[in-house]
Amino acid sequence: MKKLLALLLLLSLSLGLLAGCNGIDNYYSVKVTGNKDSLMAPIKSRYQAGAKVEIKAYPVTDVSLHVFVNGKEIPMSHFDSDYWGFEFVMPEENVTIHLTYDRFYGKEEYGFTDLHALGFMKNETFKVSVKTTDYAEKYSLIETRHSSRQSDIDNFKAIANQNLIKIDNNIASNTKFGKEYIFYYNTKYNGEMSDVLDFNDAFFCWSDFSSWQAFKFKDENYALPTIENPDLITYSFKYDGRSSDVKRYDDESFSIDFFNIATVEFIPYQGASIETNSPFYLDSGYGKINLLNSSIFELDGEYYEIISGMNYWAYSYCKLGNN
């Protein structure tokens, strides 16, 4: 008899616990996943349906905390230096609260309007360019093709009409080319401005100061536009993280650190022959870049003329005309 009573008591307790977990007595369970360390105060494991559940999190600089309740994001109810607050009313069901700093959690498909301000779509775009970097060749020149043709402008703007699907960043990391699609436009109050859409091959790359996310086009048949007949083609150097020292052929002790090699754009020089006694050169990853004057240099037997960023070029920046 005692064994029978003990079994009945154990069965009664088990049924009571099971009932509580499944909403009997109008209480339901709460499970917290994700960045649980962001919580300032613990969340109870059970709440009564209809009760207000408040989530208090530590404020963090330069990132946003996203809170999902059963897969649906809830808005922030309190934003201040003391804490970040989120609230929801406990439903008549068990709940999973997911905390994440990943702004792309829980959603796979995006439009460009979700990822970029697209100022060029709201203003008069007068020029576009595509800047191509060959990742496979460390010391190849970066090529930029420019166009003011309306057909090219329209083709570039059409990129923003495509939908995107989030992918693993590793897929977009092992690509050969980086492409910057640049839009130049006029604004009423700020004058001329530009926007950039970044791609690794055909993968769009969203980024902020500390993170990035890759996307592919939903339409697998869509191809990024090219500029077949550019108004102008310019070139620039890659920056390898090292100083391209300014040196002299006639003085081995002369050396000036120079880190601005990537700040200029240049074109092949088409002018008259250059007569100069300039002894200066850049000792760079590209080899010796002979600095003929403030705007002309020679590399591997080819002459180039700087057309943008001349004030940051070694000849002017290091005041070589005074040496």
69-103 pLDDT, tens per residue? 999 999 999 988 899 999 999 999 999 999 999 99
Its sign, for the CA torsion 151, 153, 159, 161, is negative
Check pLDDT > 50 for residue 15: no
Widest Cα–Cα separation across the chain: 116
Q: What is the mean pLDDT of the chain?
A: 92
Q: What is the pLDDT of residue 22?
A: 57
| Alpha-carbon gap, residue 94 to 227, rounded angstroms | 56
Q: Kindly give the pairing relationship between strand 72-74 and strand 66-69.
A: antiparallel
Residue 246 CB neighbour total at 10 angstroms: 23
- Percentage, residues of the chain above pLDDT 90: 84
Q: What is the DSSP letter of 44?
A: P
Q: What is the pLDDT of residues 123-158, one digit of tens each?
A: 999 999 999 999 999 999 999 999 999 999 999 999
Of 16 and 122, which is predicted with more confidence?
122
Check pLDDT > 60 for residue 10: no
φ/ψ of residue 218, rounded to 5: -65, -40
Compute, in degrees rounded to 10, the torsion defined by CA atoms 192, 204, 212, 179: -60
Helix (H, G, I), strand (E, B) or coil at 301: coil
Tokens representing 187 are 């604004």
Check pLDDT > 70 for residue 318: yes
Q: What is the pLDDT of residues 206-255, one digit of tens each?
A: 998 888 999 999 999 999 999 999 999 999 999 999 999 999 999 999 99
